[in-house]
Structure 1
Amino acid sequence: MKQPYRTPAISAANKFFKQTPEKISTDYEKAELALYTNMERLKAERLAREAERRAQRDVKQ
């Protein structure tokens, strides 16, 4: 049920103290995130190595 009147102070207080649902992460979600992050890091390292090799090969030619 809505309040019959709403002052700017009440609106500001409600926005400031608004309840936000807190996401509960499980151990599985944490492990999945760690795995994904590690895969992305390894992919970036591999692409950097490949680019460096290509650059060295182009300099030699």
Structure 2
Amino acid sequence: MNKTTGDIQPSQPITRVEREARKAFRQVEAKQAITDHDAARKAFAKNYERLKAERAAREAASPPGIKTKTKSRVAAKNLKKARIPPPGFT
């Protein structure tokens, strides 16, 4: 399939007014992006503090000396058990 030169139109140069309009729009969009980012950051920080407070309350409510086992501790313990050979195995 051959393209003819009549199908392609050369791009026209951007006028000064169009450049200024694009610049203004970019500035507005940049300010909006910064505002959105700040809002997301504040929401994250607020949620983080809430979860931190909930965890502190849970830990304060649990009896002292009792630690909850995390998945990594349980996995390490099971792995340790799996590596010990059974009695009488040589």
Corresponding position of 2:46: 57
Offset of 1:37 from its aligned partner? 1.1
TM-score scaled by structure 2?
0.46
The 3-state SS of whatever aligns with 1:58 is helix
Residue ranges of structure 1 left out of the alignment (5+ in a row): 1-7
* 1:52 Cα deviation after fit: 0.5
- 1:1-61 matches, cutoff 5 A: 12-14=2-4, 17-18=5-6, 19-61=8-50
With the length of structure 1 as denominator, give the TM-score of the two structures.
0.63
Which structure would you say has the larger Rg?
2
- Across the aligned residues of Structure 1 and Structure 2, the Cα RMSD in angstroms comes to 1.9
The percentage of counterpart residues that share the same residue type is 12
Provide the C-alpha distance between the structure 1 equivalents of 2:40 and 2:3, rounded to a whole number of angstroms: 54
Q: How many residues align?
A: 49
Deviations 1:12-55 (Å, cap 9, x if unpaired)? 151xx344042232111101001101211121111011110111
Structure 2 portions without partners, runs of 5+: 51-90
Partner Cα distance (1:50, 1:13) in 2: 50
